């Protein structure tokens, strides 16, 4: 029957066939990740916990949520494993970016009564065809039922770039999730696809017609056929190469020096100084102006890199090991 596909798996082939070969065919594992991906995971974790407690009628205050974010960071951060690629960026800058994402989301959505949460980090597994030869899977950040009865598929994005609406109206990932959820909720159930660009405090919404979903189904099947029949996997250079975990073994960079971006252990920030964010926390409705920040959130020098400099590509990349870990959380 072949492997189960995912949006990340297909995107890897589209972005760079050589990366796809390393990751999914040769199954070369890399025990490292970009700082952008690391920040994204910590933000996702804290928002998942937030909705879990909110659903139990135990909504925590904003400072407790931010404190949880910093604890998750400290528990998971490993300077030898997390790679900082962007020149001039510090670990502290990225940590402060994640805090700003959490604070901004909390302020915008408080008191979290916009709809009924139906699922958090929920796995979907579904076929694209009647025979089950083309199977897809994914993990959805949040599923909710809005007050008007529409099922909403939510996705959190920590990258700086907010795509144009026309790009989102053709987005594959959330529309594929809708195809999977329609088998559970019914083909005639109305859906909304919702993206939360938390670094920009921007929300975008899109819907799909039955014709658009059918076209997506056929296009995805065609792409899977292309991947299955591929015999050559040539590298494809792009701006994302600097964040690729396979750069040091990629033939496209055989003569390049240095062979791979520095790990965050070699950035001019030691692990202890990286604990403090580079920017002061934003104000929140539940914290008084005189409230003192947590020790781990004390301000320091201004960041060397503006928020807009944070790239989007690494956040979207999901390794096979990450996919397995996500599914084990369910």
What are the pLDDT digits (tens) for 281-312?
333 333 333 333 333 333 333 333 343 444 44
| Cα 180 to Cα 124: distance, rounded to the nearest angstrom | 6
Three-class SS state of 191: strand
Residue 328 has pLDDT above 90, yes or no: no
Tokens of 183: 């088998």
Over its C-alpha atoms, the chain yields an Rg (Å, rounded) of: 20
Tokens of 53: 């407690």
| Cα 238 to Cα 241: distance, rounded to the nearest angstrom | 6
Which residues share a beta bridge with 157? 197
**DSSP labels for 20-55?**
HIIIIIS----S-EEHHHHHHHHHHHHHHHHHHHHH
Tokens of 116: 């009924």
In percent, the amount of the chain with pLDDT more than 70 equals: 77
| Cα 47 to Cα 51: distance, rounded to the nearest angstrom | 6
Looking up tokens 């302020």 gives 107
Could you tell me the end-to-end alpha-carbon distance of the chain, in angstroms, rounded to an integer? 25
For the chain, what are the domain ranges? 5-328
User: What confidence score (pLDDT) does residue 254 get?
Assistant: 84
Is the distance from CB of 243 to CB of 261 less than 8 angstroms? yes
Lowest mean pLDDT among 106-110, 203-207, 229-233, 267-271: 267-271
* Cα dihedral across residues 86, 294, 200, 302: positive or negative: negative
| Cα 288 to Cα 273: distance, rounded to the nearest angstrom | 28
| Cα 18 to Cα 96: distance, rounded to the nearest angstrom | 34
pLDDT tens-digit map of 183-198: 999 999 999 999 999 9
Lowest mean pLDDT among 14-23, 213-222, 304-313: 304-313
Q: What is the pTM of this model?
A: 0.78
Q: For the packed helices 62-76 and 91-109, what is the interaxial angle rounded to 10 degrees?
A: 150
């Amino acid at each position: 029957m072949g492997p189960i596909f995912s949006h990340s798996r297909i995107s890897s082939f589209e972005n760079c066939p050589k990366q796809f070969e390393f990751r999914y065919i040769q199954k070369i594992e890399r025990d490292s990740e970009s700082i952008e991906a690391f920040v994204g995971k910590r933000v996702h974790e804290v928002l998942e916990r937030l909705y879990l407690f909110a659903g139990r009628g135990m909504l925590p205050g904003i400072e407790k949520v931010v404190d949880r974010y910093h604890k998750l960071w400290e528990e998971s951060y490993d300077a030898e494993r997390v790679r900082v690629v962007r020149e001039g960026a510090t670990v502290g800058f990225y940590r402060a970016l994640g805090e700003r994402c959490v604070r901004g989301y909390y302020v915008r959505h408080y008191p979290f009564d916009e709809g009924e949460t139906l699922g958090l980090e929920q796995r979907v597994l579904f076929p694209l065809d009647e025979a089950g030869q083309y199977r897809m899977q994914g993990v959805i950040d949040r599923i909710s039922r809005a007050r008007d009865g529409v099922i909403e598929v939510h996705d959190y994005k920590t990258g700086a770039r907010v795509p144009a609406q026309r790009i989102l109206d053709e987005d594959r990932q959330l529309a594929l999730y809708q195809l999977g959820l329609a088998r559970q909720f019914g083909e005639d159930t109305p859906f909304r696809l919702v993206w939360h660009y938390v670094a920009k405090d921007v929300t975008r919404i899109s819907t799909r017609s039955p014709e658009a979903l059918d076209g997506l189904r056929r296009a995805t099947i065609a792409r899977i056929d292309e991947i299955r029949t591929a015999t050559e996997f040539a590298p494809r250079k792009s701006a994302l190469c600097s964040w690729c975990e396979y750069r040091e073994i990629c033939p496209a960079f055989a003569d390049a020096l240095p062979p791979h971006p520095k790990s965050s252990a070699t950035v001019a920030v030691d692990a202890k100084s990286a604990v403090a964010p580079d920017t002061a926390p934003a104000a929140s409705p539940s914290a008084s102006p005189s409230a003192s920040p947590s020790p781990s959130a004390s301000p320091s020098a201004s960041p060397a890199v503006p928020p807009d400099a944070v790239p989007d590509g690494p956040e979207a990349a999901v390794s096979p090991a990450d996919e397995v870990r996500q599914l084990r959380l369910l």
